[in-house]
Amino acid sequence: MSHSKIMKIVSWNCNGALRRKTEQIDKLGADILVIQECENPILSTKKYRQWAGNNYLWHGETKNKGIGIFSRNRHKIKRLQWDGQFSIKGLKTNSKAITWTSNELKSFLPVMIDDKYLLVAIWTKKANSLNFGYIGQLWKYIQIHREKIHRDNIILCGDFNSNAIWDVSDRWWNHSDVVHELEEIGIFSLYHYITKELHGKETQKTFYMHRKKNKSYHIDYVFLSRNLIGNSTLQIHSVDHWIGFSDHVPMEFTLKA
C-alpha cells in the first residue's frame, strides 16, 4: 500500500525580530517556513544563524526586514532568477510609467521546492507608489510572469496587504481583479475554496493593526493551482496566542505529495 506524503508550509509575517521568535514558530513543526518581515540571518546573531542553518533563502532591501524561506526538514529549496519587463500596449503616451521591471517591484521571492513545487513568497509594499502600491505591485508582477505561474504545482503565499474591501472602482488592479486574473489561469485562494466565503467577507482575520482585536483584517493568503487545492488543508492560528509575538497570525497549510 502506498502512503501519500504530507508537506506542511507555514506563512507568517513575524513583525520583525524573528531571531527572538524561532522557538515559537518551531512548535508548529513546519517543513517549510515562509516568513515576511524577518532579518537576514547572515547579518544577525550567532544563535539565529545557527537556527537558519544552510538551507534557507532570504531577500530584502535592508538587513532587518525581508522575506525568508527556511527549510526545516531537508527539503531542497532553490532560488529562481526571475527577471522581466512588461509594457502596457495601445496607450498614446511616452510616459515611462507604462513599462516596469521585476527588480523594481516589492517584494517577491520565487523558489522551487524539491524540484517540484514553484512557490512565490510575497510581501507587498507601498513601494513609493501612490497608485500601484500593495496589490498593485502584485498585479504588475503577474503581468510580467504570467506564463511562468500558469502551470501546475503553483503556490503563492504571504502578506498581500490587501483585501476586496479596499477595492477602488476605477483601478483595474484591484484586489478583486487580481483574484479574477489568477482564477482565469487556474490559481485559487485556499481559504476561500475551503470556507466558501466571498473575498471581502472573511470571518477569520490574519492581521491585527497595532495588535488590537477590534482592528482586524484578512490580508494574508495562500493561492494554489487547481491540481493542489483539492487535497490541501488550511489553519489560521489563534490570535490569543500569537498576538504576543506579531500583529499577524501564522497561516498553516498542507500539500499532499
Confidence of residue 101 (pLDDT cuts 50, 70, 90): confident
Q: Where are the domains of the chain?
A: 6-256
* Cβ 240 vs Cβ 102: under 8 Å: no
Alpha helices (H) along 79-134: none
- What average pLDDT does the structure give for the chain? 94
The burial class, CB within 10 Å (0-12 / 13-18 / 19+), for 46 is: exposed
Q: Long-range contact list for 52-61, CB < 8 A, 24+ apart?
A: 57/109, 57/111, 59/107, 59/108, 59/109, 60/107, 61/106, 61/107
Model confidence at 2, in pLDDT bands (50, 70, 90)? very low
pTM for this predicted structure: 0.95
Report the pLDDT value the prediction gives residue 257, as an integer from 0 to 100: 67
128-175, pLDDT tens digit by residue?
Answer: 888 889 999 999 999 999 999 999 999 999 999 999 999 998 898 999
- CA 164 – CA 176 distance, rounded (Å): 6
Q: What is the pLDDT of residues 52-93, one digit of tens each?
A: 999 999 999 999 999 999 999 899 999 999 888 767 787 777
Using one digit for the tens of pLDDT, what is the confidence trace for 19-49? 999 999 999 999 999 999 999 999 999 999 9
At residue 216, does pLDDT exceed 90?
Answer: yes
For the 6-256 domain, the top CATH level (class) is alpha beta
Question: Alpha helix locations (H) across the chain?
Answer: 22-26, 46-52, 135-149, 175-184, 190-195, 226-229, 239-242
